[in-house]
Chains A and B, each alone.
Chain A
Amino acid sequence: MFSNQIAVILGEGAGRGFSFPPINTILRWKDVVPGINKVVIIAILSALIGTLLFLVASLKDARKAPKGSRNLAEVIVEFIEKNIIMETMGKSGMGWTPFLLTMFVFIYLCNLPGIIPFIQMPATARMGIPAFMALLVWVVFNATGIKHQGLFGYFKNVLFPPGVPKALYILVTPIELISTLVVRPFSLAVRLFANMLAGHLLLVIFALLSQALIQAETQKFFLVPIGILPFALLIFLTGFEILVAFLQAYIFTVLTAVYIGGATHPEH
C-alpha cells in the first residue's frame, strides 16, 4: 500500500522516477581492446603503481632520513611486519613479508578505484581477481605445510588434529577436510568480492536515488529538498568505502598470514 503511494509520488506511472538498472549495465564493461576492459585496465594499473612505488623508494639513499615515496613505502612495510606478521606468525614469519606486502598493496589499489570519481569501479567487485588470489593463497599455504611437515605429516595434522578424543574423529575429520581445503579459499574469495560488490551497489543505489529526487518533475517543493538526504548519505558512504577498501585488504592479508602460519607450525 505504502509502496504504491511512493511510486505515485515519484511519478513511476508516467515512466519517470527511480528504477534500478539491470545489473549487467553496472558491472559488465565493454572491451576497449579485445579481451581488455575497464576492470582489467584498473588491475594492470594498480599492479604497475604498486611496483613503481616500491621501485622508486628502493632507489633512494637508505642512509638519509626517509621522505616522500620512501617514507610511504617504509610505513607500509612496517605496518605489514608489525601489525600482520608479528601478530599472527611471530618473528619466524618475517620471510613472508614480500609476499604479503605485494598482496596487500595490490588488493588495496584494486579496491580503491571504487571511490575515485569518474573511475568508480573496484576491480575486485568482479569474481576473477578475488578467485585467483584465493587460489594462489590456497596453493601457497598447502605447499608450505607439505614442505615443512611432509605430505603425510601435514595431512595428518589437518585431518586428525591432536587433542581430540579418538571417537570424535568420525565427526571432526570430514569437517576439517571440508573447512581447510574447500571453505577456506571459497570464503576468502567470496568475502573480498561480496564486500566490494555490496559497497559498489550501495553507492550506485544512493547516486540514482538522489538523482531521481533532485531531478523530480512532479511535486518539486517536496521532493527536491528530500533529495539532499540520500546525497549526504552518498558522501558519507563514499568515506565509509575507503575504510572498507583498507579493511578488506587487511583481512585478506591477515587470513593469508594465519593460514600460512598454521601450516608452518602445527598445533601440538
Chain B
Amino acid sequence: MEALTRIAHASIRVAAELTPAEAKANAAAQMAGLAYGLAAIGPGIGIGMIFGKAIEAMARQPESAGMVRTTMFLGVAFTEALALIGFVAFILLKFA
C-alpha cells in the first residue's frame, strides 16, 4: 500500500513537470497501447474458435478439407479486420 502511494506521488510529480505537448504525447502512447490491446481480445478469441472448428471439421471429413480451408481463411480474414483496424488506430494515435 505504501509502495502504491509512493508510485502515485511519483507519477503525479512527473506529470506536473511535463510540458503540455509531452503530456499529450504520453497520454497518446498509453491510449494507443490500451486501444490495440482491447482491439486484439475479440479477434483473438474469434480466430481461435475458427481454427479449432475448422480442424474439427477437417478431422471428421478429410475429403472436404479443401473447401473448409478456403472458408476458414475467409472467416479469418473477416475476423482479423477488426484487429487490424485497432492496429491502424494504434498507429494514428501514436504517430499522427
A-to-B contact residues, CB < 8 Å: 1, 22-23, 83-84, 87-88, 187, 190-191, 194-195, 197-198, 247, 250-251, 254-255, 258
Kindly provide the distance from the CB of A250 to the nearest chain B CB, expressed in whole angstroms. 7
Query: Does A190 contact B70, Cβ atoms closer than 8 Å?
Result: no
- Asked if B91 CB lies within 8 Å of chain A CBs, one says yes
B-to-A contact residues, CB < 8 Å: 7, 66-67, 70, 73-74, 76-78, 80-81, 84-85, 87-88, 91, 95
Partner of A251, one of B73, B85, B88, B91: B73
Query: Does B67 contact A87, Cβ atoms closer than 8 Å?
Result: yes
A-B contact list, 12 entries, CB within 8 Å: A22-B95, A23-B95, A190-B81, A190-B85, A191-B80, A191-B81, A194-B84, A194-B88, A250-B73, A251-B74, A254-B73, A258-B74
Query: Does A1 contact B7, Cβ atoms closer than 8 Å?
Result: yes
Q: Which residues from B are CB-within-8-Å of A258?
A: 74
Q: Which residue of B lies closest to A194 (CB)?
A: B84
Q: Which 6 A-B pairs have the closest CB atoms?
A: A194-B84, A87-B70, A23-B95, A187-B81, A251-B77, A194-B87
Given contacts A190-B81, A197-B87, A251-B77, 15 further A-B contacts (CB under 8 A): A23-B91, A23-B95, A83-B70, A87-B70, A190-B84, A190-B85, A191-B77, A191-B81, A191-B84, A194-B85, A194-B88, A195-B80, A195-B84, A251-B76, A255-B74
Kindly provide the distance from the CB of A4 to the nearest chain B CB, expressed in whole angstroms. 9
The answer for the CA separation of A195 and B84 in the assembled complex, in Å, is 7
Kindly provide the distance from the CB of A62 to the nearest chain B CB, expressed in whole angstroms. 27
Kindly provide the distance from the CB of A230 to the nearest chain B CB, expressed in whole angstroms. 20
Q: Which residues from B are CB-within-8-Å of A187?
A: 78, 81
Query: Does A254 contact B85, Cβ atoms closer than 8 Å?
Result: no
Q: Which residues from B are CB-within-8-Å of A88?
A: 70
Query: Does B77 contact A197, Cβ atoms closer than 8 Å?
Result: no
Q: Which residues from A are CB-within-8-Å of B73?
A: 247, 250-251, 254
Q: Which residue of A lies closest to B73 (CB)?
A: A251
Q: Which residue of B lies closest to A27 (CB)?
A: B95
Q: Which residue of A lies closest to B82 (CB)?
A: A187
Q: Which residue of A lies closest to B83 (CB)?
A: A194
Q: Which residues from A are CB-within-8-Å of B66?
A: 83, 87
